[in-house]
Structure 1
Amino acid sequence: MLHKSTLRGSALLIATMLSTALVQPALAQSDLVTVVVTDEPKSLDPCDTDLSNNARILRNNVTETLVNLDPANGAVLPSLATEWRQIDDLTWEFKLREGVTFHDGSAFDAAAVVAALARATNPDIGCEVGLATLQGNTFTGEAVDATTLVIKTGTVEPILPNKLSALDIGAPVTPADAKTREPIGTGPYALKAWSAGQSVALQAFDDYWGDKPAIANANIVWRGESAVRAAMVDTGEAQIAFEIAPQDATSANDIAFPNAETSLLRIDQAIAPLDDKRVREALNLAIDRDGLIGTVFNEGATKAMQVVLPSVFGYNPDIPVWPYDPDRARALLDEARAAGVPVDTEIVLYGRIGIYPNSAESMEAIQAMLLDVGFNARLEMMETTPWLEKLIGPFPAERQPSLLQTQIDNTEGDAVFTLPNRFTSGGNTSTLADPSVDDLIARASAATGDERQSLFQQAFANIAVEAINIVPLFHMVTIARVSPDLNYVPDVQAGNEIKLRSISYK
């Protein structure tokens, strides 16, 4: 069992660092809000918002989508599109909002959406939304007139409007054949500056079509240490700080909220010894999840067995949570070893610094648990960029067996936003190549109603129980520290979307 005392030394060290490293900043002004997050965005391209560290800056701040999803129930809400209808199995029509302009003064119209859709699905650019949410189908846009858009799909997409909630629309001047660092959208804020390694500055857009922001300027900065982020709110250097670690959540200004993320270890099961099911089962039995809750993970986290929350359509309620059984884990490794499986091969645990509070501490604890049952496990903590190289394929044929610390979020409410790109042979973050899983997910994605739900549930059962393709950990809870001078309540989408327009000073 892991005890809270294991964190005291690091907490004292951080406190000592803070006393010398922080300087007293200027007081917050009513026309500026500063938000501190864990890490710098990978890019600020409108087509890369499938990565949360990009989306939280761009989505509904700088760029907007045709529709939004209600954080309370996942319902599809109008945004740049005001209405839509399905004409036939492969054809949808969208009516677009009139009187909308991009930050450069150009008009938002159906042609702009057609261009954004073509760009997002262009494999030569490598857009995250094309590699993830829109992966596995073809999408052809047609501008019937300025405010009428028709989208045809290669195969049936029964929830196409939901999927388009992930497609951020950039201005027509956005390069058609390359990524950009200067996004031009229709949102309430325009990009003012991206100072690499330091901050992103946004400024309110005077000609925004909707309700104007209460605060004219926003700065997003990043700091790796939870205690540093928390202290920045206390000193007035920032007004909102995300991802506060449990041991640092000591203020009445700390707000805990479910964030739709599920933490897990991705198993690279193409490489021995992880290609043996007994070894993958032993990995799961070796982890004391109860001991991790309330120590390195927030006490509000709940043990997970599949990579979506119960609120997601397709969730399987009949999958049991893994017990902690180190003796059974040792026996399975002995059995596999006797059968010739190279179970003593070194397995690398790739962790990402700052992926969630206590990310390194959690991986250190898991490494110790794996070593305890007989795994040869080495931990390597990585910054975001090299970690993304491990997350996103294609993967080199010659590589060490590995487990990757990651999270999967689903605020869209349907399993199709989780399964295809992460657990199919063509998925951009998938290490699986199982035709039976591919078939289940493909049939589920094209189905509706009870059939859709049943097929997704079968897919989750296959991944978690029959094949054991993952090491699920927890459905996560996030803590944000919010200045008492501010009106702001984070919702379940806050991990991917900092809704700056909703923020005001008291």
Structure 2
Amino acid sequence: MNMISITKAAKVGLAAFSLAANVSIPAHATSDTLTVVVTDEPKSLDPCDTDLSGNSRILRNNITETLVNLSPIDGTVTPSLATDWRQVDDLTWEFKLREKVTFHDGKPFDANAVAAALKRAQDPALACEVGLATLKGVKLSPEVVNPTTIIIRTDVIEPILPNKMAALDIGSPDMPNDAKTRAPVGTGPFKLLEWLPGQSVALQAYDGYWSDKPSIKNATVIWRAESAVRAAMVETGEAQIAYEIAPQDGTSDHDHAFPNAETSLLRIDQDVAPLNDRRVREALNLAIDRDGLIGTIFHENAEKAMQVVTPSVFGYNPDIPAWTYDPEKAKSLLEAARADGVPVDKEIVIYGRIGIYPNSSESLEAIQAMLADAGFNARLEMLETSPWLKKLLKPWAKDRQPSILQTQIDNTEGDAVFTLPNRFTSDGNTSSIVDPKLDTIISDASKATGDERKRLFQEAFKYIAVDAVNIVPLFHMVTIARVASDVNYTPDVQAGNEIKLKSVSYR
């Protein structure tokens, strides 16, 4: 399949969903209500599950807040519920907390609440996403000094602990400690009014909020899988902001394209034959015409990825070459593997997630055709979010089929430690690679500082992409958001994880 045929197929297949370039965006119904439409329903609204973007975009800095935030401009650590912090020694940090802050249930925010949130996030019985991902590999032991001072001790050197605290959303200590909650209580500018499963999440401005009050008093988040539907809802006034608009739908003056810190890829399950042969994994990469996908199925500003983080992330390796499109070499690698007894004709399942990004199904249909052209026996299976998460997260069935999984990895925190441990170490909750050498590189990098930290993280990215070939990197992504003409809102690089309702107002 060449670039011309991909382009033609993409345009024909997508044309039916296109919207007119010059749409008329009607005025809002009332000045204090807002409707936002996203791709899918949150999996959880528990404050300890914000490592999944579908959850954090509703919770983070809307319902719940963290000790610190990270600047969307340069990733620097900025105050939030903590006003100051310092490293006491290699294993000890002190945080000073904001005074006169209350949770939505009236309970005071203090050091005891932070300690409870830390203990809850690390409880194995709760299986919190933040504990399984961002906080993985380090034990955090809180010590309450006084209501406005907390000491956090680590069992290993953690040079960027404040950055990691930007991932710990803090809920009321009165929330259950032995189970996940569907009724989060935070300190944010909005409180949860109602979660109607399968329909919507309703938020209401919190009168007792400690900082500037939001202009929007009532916000509703709804979800629709189809890009064209989301775009049309803003056109008709059913919504004022719509995320993840597909390139063919995002052609009006009200559509804003921006880099979103996400990298799209296919994760290879390399434990299962024939994917346990490196030649087969290399052939997967050579069989995909990435140039032909840009500007057709993916946004024209998407960039071919060499690794799973963007160039702005500390530890990014600029010396990893992008894969070239070489289906003939892919065929020869498969033939060589076949000659050695590798079952290359075995069916490989491509697991996709409906709505993970615009044209997600179309992208995999094109990739499936490319793989078939190179000699793979690939079958596509598109999944809703819940069954897809079962393929993403461990444990996996021992007798599973060989598979590759459509996924995205985002890193708005600015350091490779927020990407590598959970996704590429032997005990990582989403990792499909078991390699002691890689484990050591990532562990050593996580403890290091400065140039040594960068060097080791760069080594890890090279090992994953070039030596192990554990992934099929695709693109550093671009998102389109449609915003009604009378709404003040500028999406930033964090928009995939945070809706930031407090920043929205009407003109």
Q: TM-score, normalised by structure 2?
A: 0.97
Q: 1:27 to 1:70 in 2, by over 3 A?
A: closer
Aligned position for 2:243: 242
Deviations 1:312-370 (A, max 9, x none): 00000110000000000000000000011111111000000000000000000000000
2:413 partner amino acid: E
Instruction: Output one character per residue of 1:461-485: Cα deviation in whole Å (capped at 9) or x when no partner.
Output: 1000011110000000000000010
Corresponding residue of 2:278: 277
Deviation at 1:4, TM superposition (A): 3.9
Q: Map 1:196-275 onto structure 2 (within 5 A).
A: 196-275=197-276
1:452 matched residue in structure 2? 453
* Alignment correspondent of 1:376: 377
Distance 1:487 1:26, change over 3 A: closer
- Rounded to whole Å, the distance in 1 between the matches of 2:415 and 2:188 is 26
Contact 1:263 1:476 in 2 (8 A): yes
Deviation at 1:166, TM superposition (A): 0.3
8 Å Cα contact 2:345/2:377 also seen in 1: yes
Instruction: Kindly indicate whether the alpha-carbon contact (under 8 Å) linking 1:28 and 1:237 is maintained by their aligned counterparts in 2.
Output: no
Name the structure 1 match of 2:22: none
SS of structure 2 residue aligned to 1:152: strand
1:467: which partner in 2?
Answer: 468
Q: For 1:443-498, what per-residue CA distance to the aligned partner results, in whole angstroms no more than 9, with x for missing partners?
A: 00000000000000000010000111100000000000000100000000000000
Describe the shift of the 1:141–1:429 C-alpha distance in structure 2 as closer, same or farther (beyond 3 A): same
Q: Which amino acid aligns with 2:169?
A: D
Q: Determine if the alignment matches structure 1 residue 6 to structure 2 residue 9.
A: yes
Q: Distance in 1 between matches of 2:366 and 2:9?
A: 10
Matched, 1:396 2:397: yes
SS in 1 for 2:307: coil
Distance 1:196 1:26 in 2: 29
**Does the Cα contact within 8 Å between 2:6 and 2:366 map onto a contact in 1?**
no
Match of 1:120 in 2: 121
Number of residues of Structure 1 aligned to a counterpart in Structure 2: 499
Query: 1:137 Cα shift?
Result: 1.3
Question: Structure 2 counterpart of 1:142, which letter?
Answer: E
> Structure 1: which 5+ residue stretches go unaligned?
17-23
Aligned residue for 1:19? none
CA distance in 1 between counterparts of 2:88 and 2:44 reads 36
In structure 2, what is the equivalent of residue 321 of structure 1? 322
How far apart, CA to CA, are the structure 1 residues paired with 2:414 and 2:426? 23
Q: Contact between 1:90 and 1:156, CA under 8 Å: does it hold in 2?
A: yes
**TM superposition shift of 1:7:** 3.9
What is aligned with 2:29? 28
Report the AA paired with residue 153 of structure 2.
K
Task: State the Cα distance separating 1:265 from its structure 2 match.
Answer: 0.1
Partner of 1:504: 505
Q: C-alpha distance in 1, partners of 2:464/2:170?
A: 34
Counterpart-to-counterpart distance in 2, 1:29 and 1:357: 30
- Tell me, yes or no, if the aligned pair for 1:26 and 1:237 is still in contact at 8 Å: no
CA–CA distance in 1 between the matches of 2:16 and 2:257?
Answer: 25
Q: Name the aligned partner's letter for residue 160 of structure 1.
A: L
Identical columns (%): 71
Q: What is the letter of the counterpart of residue 354 of structure 1? A: G
Root-mean-square deviation (CA, aligned residues, Å) is 1.3
Superposed displacement of residue 396, structure 1: 1.5
Q: Cα deviation per residue 1:188-208 (whole Å; 9 max; x = unaligned)? A: 000000011010000000000
Matches within 5 A, 1:17-56: 27-56=28-57
Contact 1:230 1:241 in 2 (8 A): yes
In 2, the alpha carbon distance for the partners of 1:143 and 1:101 equals: 18
Please state how far the C-alpha of 1:6 moved relative to its aligned partner: 2.4
* Matches of 2:292 and 2:129, distance apart in 1: 35
- SS of the equivalent of 2:51 reads coil
Q: Counterpart of 1:129?
A: 130
Provide the rounded CA distance (Å) in 1 between the counterparts of 2:192 and 2:497. Answer: 18
Provide the rounded CA distance (Å) in 1 between the counterparts of 2:7 and 2:334.
Answer: 30
Structure 2 unaligned blocks of 5 or more: 20-24
CA–CA separation in structure 2 for the residues paired with 1:376 and 1:73: 44
1:188 corresponding residue in structure 2: 189
Residue 422 of structure 1 aligns with an amino acid whose one-letter code is: R
Superposed CA offset, 1:31-84 (max 9, x none): 101100000000100000000000000000000000000000000000000000
Q: State the distance in 2 between where 1:87 and 1:27 align.
A: 52
Superposition deviation, residue 177 in structure 1: 1.1
Shift of 1:249: 1.1
Query: Cα deviations across residues 365-387 of structure 1 (Å, max 9, x unaligned)?
Result: 00000011100100000000000
Query: Matches of 1:163 and 1:64 in 2, distance apart?
Result: 13
Report the equivalent of 1:100: 101
Quick one: which amino acid aligns to residue 482 of structure 2? R
AA aligned to 1:288 is D
Partner secondary structure for residue 248 of structure 2: helix
Q: What SS does the aligned partner of 1:408 have?
A: strand
